[in-house]
Structures are given as C-alpha cells and as structure tokens.
Amino acid sequence: MPDRLMIDPSMFLWPDTFPVLIEALNRKELGRVAIPHAFASALRDGVLEENFVRFFGPRRGAVTAPEILSRFTVPELIEEYSPKSFRLEGSVFDQRLSEVSGSDLVRRTLVEEWEFLTSESWIISKVRAAFDGFLKSGAVALEVGGNAFDWLAAKSLKIPPERVPDGLNVKQRLRAVAKWIAVGGASATAVVAPPVAVGVGAASGFFLLLDP
C-alpha cells in the first residue's frame, strides 16, 4: 500500500498548482493524502489570515478560502492530520519555530507538518517556506536537485515502488507542477551512512529536500 502524502497549504494557494491539485483530488488519483488540521479548520471558517497567505502563498493573486471550498467537491478524500502531541514542545526548536512563524495559525500548521514529516515521511509543496522554517529552527536537511527523486527513491532510499505515494508517481501532473518534496523519518535516514545517521538521530530532526 502506498504511503500517505501530506499536501502543504501552498499547493492550494498558488493559482498554477490549485487547479491541478483539485482535478487530481476530485478524480481520486492521489490515494491516501492528508492536510494539516489547522489549515483545514481555517478553511472551514472561510477566511485565511493575511500572515498565513503571505507565508505559504504568492505575493498577489492567492486562491481564497471560498474559492478552495467551492472547487473541492470531495473533502472526505483528505484526512486532517493532527498529532496527539508535539514531541519537541518547549524545546529550542519549538521556540525558534514560534519566532519564524509570525502567527499562531502558521505555527500550528508547521507543528503538524513537522510531526507528519518525521513520522510518516512525505510532504509535497509549491514553496520552501515550511522547510526553511524547520531549518531556521534547528532541523538538518540534505538538499538534492537535478530531478533525482526517482533515482533516490529506488536506489538510495530503497523505497519499494508500491510504497511511494500515488501523488508522487512519475506520471502524476501534481508532481510536475510542485517544486519540493520533503522526505523524513526512516526513509530519510536510510540515505545517510550509519555513523552519520546516529548523529542525525541525536539532532532535533533530519529530512531530505528534493527537487522532483
């Protein structure tokens, strides 16, 4: 069974990724996907605060909450992810994350993304904002460009094809319009040599940041 994929809010807010995402969701092409619970709650309220849109969206022309709700016809296909607890609550990482967030809604969204990334592994995003927030807060990342995703997944990460989320299939248009794929948890540490992985495990967190 394919792993679950988290969709970063930026995929909804950018005009070029939103139609592709909605089409794929409404056609039930993406399999098991999740979004941060904080983002889902804000959508239901019908308003996304300015700080949130500025953090995840474009400077101008961001897709609005009413537009998202009007086009998203099968919301039951997306699971709202909310961790039972924030494992790093009260840590230096947590304090720095609060500083870079700029608002409570952004912070809660980043906490939920971080917990998902370090436990269930996969996030797809249009922008680096969330990942840069993690790095500024003390996380460690290995960034790989040059369309290396398929090679890493098959050769270095040794991820069986059946485990790669449906939304990251090489034929999936969503992957073509996205800019970043983050891989965390056991899948990420598998690419690091064992002695390094031990040190990484002692850090606040480690993930791969891939340009698909």
User: pLDDT per residue over 7-55, tens digit each?
Assistant: 999 999 999 999 999 888 888 888 778 999 999 999 989 889 999 999 9
Residue 204's pLDDT is what? Answer: 45
Question: pLDDT, tens digit, for every residue of 40-98?
Answer: 999 989 889 999 999 999 999 999 999 998 887 666 778 899 887 767 777 888 889 89
Q: Is the pLDDT of residue 209 over 90?
A: no
> What pLDDT, in 10s, does the model give residues 143-159?
876 566 666 655 555 55
Look up tokens 């299939």; give the residue.
169
Interior angle at CA 186, CA 181 and CA 191, nearest 5: 70
Radius of gyration of the chain (CA): 16
- The SS3 call for residue 124 is strand
Domain limits, the chain:
5-210
165-172: average pLDDT: 58
Can you give the pTM of this predicted structure? 0.84
Q: Using the predicted structure, report yes or no on whether residue 129 has a pLDDT greater than 90.
A: yes
